Copies of this chain bind each other. A is one copy, B any other.
Amino acid sequence: MKDIHKHSKIITAATKVFAKKGFFNARISDIAKEAKVADGTIYLYFNNKYDILISVFEEEIGKIVEQIKKSLAEETDPRKMLEIFATKHLQSMKKNKNLAEVIQIELRQTNKLIKDYRNNKFSDYTDLVEEIIRLGQKQNIYCLDVEPGIAKRIFFGALEEVSRVWNTSIDGHYTVDEISGQLLKIFLSGILLPEKNAAR
């Protein structure tokens, strides 16, 4: 029953409540009840409601980012790197659905509303994709007419949207490998039949 223990209990509870009701509809008392502490206790660990949300981002996203960065560090083939990125990201999102929901729905809001809050860990994270693409271009594996800044958005936007199947869809039965396979297939080779490919 020490500081850190209660802190992370509140973080977990908050993630769950934010995921379920959204930040603005979440009551401090909901979070307190979920974490099995008194309302006031929350204010011993956080300054205010926003601070809880920011902490969810900083701490929970941070874990994922670190883990993926570590996996990437061991690989040099840009094709494999994108595969690792996609697979690990999807795994994380499937494993922690509450966090996924909060990232997908609340992070954008917050980035907009709190202009002076930039989740740098998250930006760094998405920027990884851009770096991988530049690397692949240098190695003459990826086309030079691909703009890495746009391609990053395409890859990451696609990744986020497909990861939503587990939170929103009726047909959330896809596996991580199926989805990441489809994403990589399309991102790397496109959807045209090979013989049609010369056209572009």
Contacts and interface: CB of A to CB of B under 8 A. Distances in A.
A186 interface: yes
B193 A143 contact: yes
A146 B185 contact: yes
Interface residues of A toward B: which range? 35 or more
Contacts of A194: 197
A24 interface: yes
Nearest to A183: B154
A79 B141 CA distance: 25
A109 interface: yes
A183 B155 CA distance: 10
A194 B21 CA distance: 47
Contacts of A174: 150
Given A189-B200, A197-B194, A200-B189, A182 B141 contact: no
